Structure 1
Amino acid sequence: MSLNTEQEQVSAFLTYLQMERQASSYTVANYAKDIEHFFAFFSEQGRETPLDQISYTDIRQYLRSLNENEYARKSVARKLSALRSFWNFLQREHAVRDNPFRFVSTPKAEQRLPVFFYEDEMRAVIEGIDQTTDLGKRNLAIVELLYAAGIRVSELTGITVEDLDLAIGTLLVSGKGRKERYVPVGSFALDALENYLESARPNLASKAAEQNDQLFLNYRGGPLTDRGVRKVLNAAVEDAALKSRISPHVIRHTFATHMLNEGADLRTVQELLGHKGLSATQIYTHVTKDRLREVYRNSHPRA
């Protein structure tokens, strides 16, 4: 492969991520931004450094700039991961001789406990949704499904009508790396989904110029996007008069935390969340331990 310009090299790398690595569109977009940010750093300094001449010293200068601009460790780690992968690709394609990023250590991630809703807060979000309109019925089905299945927002927006089996209460989910898994769906979510499919989705679908099989539709009848889901959740929290911040991942954290609090084993929760290994799921055990200590302190007479 002949990669003569930086633009061609970046384009080839992003195609490689999509086709060979089967990375999600979210990952590809973020990697593209991270690489562009690295190039912009040198451009702002008035330097036009060829990629095969980038050195360890150059990278340290870039990291120092990130630190001065107070980038979070997680953001720095992701940028390094994107750039290291990019240079590995360039080395594989013989566009550069060496990968200077192999000498750079990745900062340790900050151990932040996931934010989640307590049961009464989650109930307030659900009960505050107006169920008298087509969009309200859709919104209730979205929140109930996120809470019932613990799926990611990218997984939610990728669901088709055929992926949902109301009869046996299961959902086929396409996760990271296009790995598929079946997840059970609780009775409350099934009721909300059935109501949406029967009395709301047909009305929304009729507004579209072209029909599609996506489960969740926007007000024009087109596929609902990640951004659309976030708007739905923000409105639900405002209607519930909660001060907490919300995102699809907060509901995912809530699902995992409530499952473990009620006695589910870690391996089961790992499978339901679609995590590759237990390490990504174990952070929720810290939350449940904190919850146990709180209950103990509030309940034991000699705590």
Structure 2
Amino acid sequence: MDWNSGINGFKSYLLLERSLSKNTIDAYEQDIIKLQTFFSTEYNAKGPLSLTYPDLSDFIIYLNELGLGARTQARIISGVKAFFRFLLLEDLILDDPSELIDGPRLSRKIPEVLSYEEITKIIETIDLSEDHGHRNRAMLETLYASGLRASELINLRISNFYPDIGFIRVVGKGNKERLVPIGETAIDQILIYMEHYRSKLKTIQKGFEDHIFLNRRGKMLTRVMLFTIIKNAKEKAGIDKKVSPHTFRHSFATHLVDGGADLKAVQDMLGHESITTTEIYTHLDNQYLRDVMMTHHPRNKKK
């Protein structure tokens, strides 16, 4: 098997079996193309099936010498590991030469968190007398009520909004759907916006009839517009922090965990595949983990 057929097979596997998005697949492809380039030189020509652990170690040294940042190197190495797992699953290799490869250690970056009071201040700066004031208020309430990603919010559909039972259906990363609860305050704001403001738009462009949040031209909002709305609101509130849609998402998760919510429930609401990701977002402290163990482990229960 040559490099081209290997990369094409890998892309099909990522699409059909792992259901990854086009952007993610493209990123993986670029990682493997870097590997292919390194092992396609005249003095270093090797196919994907003949690579060994020492070969991959040389490749990592090469990445480091290029001056790539630790995070970029880690992402490329992750893509390479996924590629060799694919070859192993397809029985194209007997052993995985990337198994013992370690990426650079990454610092654990904790995103900014807003307090409940700061969230309230930001939301209350929205002027409901202005055009789209009720839309903007509804969007911020929904971000904090359900911990949505920016793309999930702007793509939220009327057909996926169930106010009678207090849930929304969200299409997340990799086109994976999940049901997320939404609070009464956010529901009320969405209904007010839809009934009194969205319904009075002069025109709704074709293809956007089912989108809840629309711009003045009757089209879906952009991520940039959502970032701008939040930036303007936080500046009016006098909050000296970097605030983005993700800040609302992280604050949502943090406040739930601080209030005693089950970590698995928070994981499901955020749409994380791994509980480890949820732990990073909610920066659990050691005392919380100890309390969970002492409360739930059968050896620690008082008789």
Task: State the one-letter code of the partner of 1:79.
Answer: I
* Mapped pair 1:16 → 2:25: no
Gaps of 5+ in 2: 289-303
Whether 1:71 and 2:39 are equivalent positions in the alignment is no
State whether structure 2 residue 80 is matched by structure 1 residue 80.
no
* One-letter amino acid matched to 2:142: L
Question: Which residue pairs with 1:297 in the alignment?
Answer: none
**Distance change (3 Å), C-alpha of 1:150 and 1:211:** closer
Partner of residue 200 from structure 1, selected from 194, 197, 202: 197
**1:183 alignment partner, SS class:** strand
SS at match of 1:125: helix
| Number of the residue aligned with 2:167 | 170
Change (3 A) 1:127 1:273: same
What are the superposed Cα offsets for residues 122-155 of structure 1, whole Å, 9 maximum, x if unpaired? 2222122343445443332222111101123343
Deviation of the 1:117 alpha carbon: 1.0
Q: Which residue pairs with 2:138 in the alignment?
A: 141
**Deviations for 1:210-269, whole angstroms, at most 9, x for unmatched residues?**
444223334443334545543443343344343322333221110011122233333433
Q: Structure 1 177/70 Cα, relative in aligned 2: closer, same or farther at 3 Å?
A: closer
Partner of 1:236: 233
How many angstroms apart in 2 are the aligned matches of 1:125 and 1:119?
10
The reply to whether residue 223 of structure 1 matches residue 220 of structure 2 is: yes
1:266 aligned residue:
263
* 1:187 Cα deviation from its structure 2 partner: 2.4
The amino acid of 1:72's aligned partner reads A
The one-letter code of the counterpart of 2:255 is H
SS in 2 for 1:215: coil
Question: Which deviates more from structure 2 when the two are superposed, residues 39-48 or residues 50-59?
Answer: 39-48
* 1:14 alignment partner AA: K
| Equivalent residue runs for 1:35-114 within 5 Å | 35-39=32-36, 50-52=47-49, 54-68=51-65, 69=67, 71-73=69-71, 75-90=72-87, 99-114=96-111
Q: Which moved more, 1:216-225 or 1:18-27?
A: 216-225
3-state DSSP class of the match of 2:107?
coil
Distance 1:263 1:4, change over 3 A: closer
RMSD value, Cα = 3.7
User: In structure 2, what residue type is equivalent to 1:223?
Assistant: M
Change in 2 beyond 3 A, CA 1:11/1:258: same
Aligned length: 286
Q: What is the SS of the residue equivalent to 1:259?
A: helix
SS at match of 2:211: coil
**Are 1:181 and 2:181 an aligned pair?**
no
* Alignment match, 1:247: 244
Contact 2:163–2:187 (Cα < 8 Å) also in 1:
yes
Residue 160 of structure 1 corresponds to which residue in structure 2?
157
Matched-pair contact (CA < 8 Å) for 1:35–1:83: yes
Q: Contact 1:113–1:286 at 8 Å: present in 2 too? A: no
Q: 2:284 aligns with which of 277, 283, 286?
A: 286
Question: How has the CA–CA distance of structure 1 residues 64 and 235 changed in structure 2, closer, same or farther, with 3 Å as cutoff?
Answer: farther
The range that moved more, 225-234 or 238-247, is: 225-234
- The gaps in structure 1 that reach 5 residues or longer are 291-303
| Residue of structure 1 in register with 2:301 after alignment | none
The two structures have a TM-score, normalised by structure 1, of: 0.74
TM-score by length of 2: 0.74
Distance 1:249 1:29 in 2: 24
Q: How many angstroms does 1:201 deviate by?
A: 3.0
Give the conservation status (yes or no) of the 8 Å contact 2:157–2:210. Answer: yes
Q: Does 1:28 align with 2:25?
A: yes
- Deviation for aligned residue 1:194: 1.4
- C-alpha distance after superposition, 1:37-68 (max 9, x if no partner): 54566789997754445554443344234445
Q: Secondary structure at the match of 1:105?
A: coil
Closer, same or farther: CA 288–88 of 1 in aligned 2, 3 Å: closer
CA contact (8 A) 1:134 1:204 kept: no
- Tell me the distance in 2 between the aligned counterparts of 1:268 and 1:167: 21
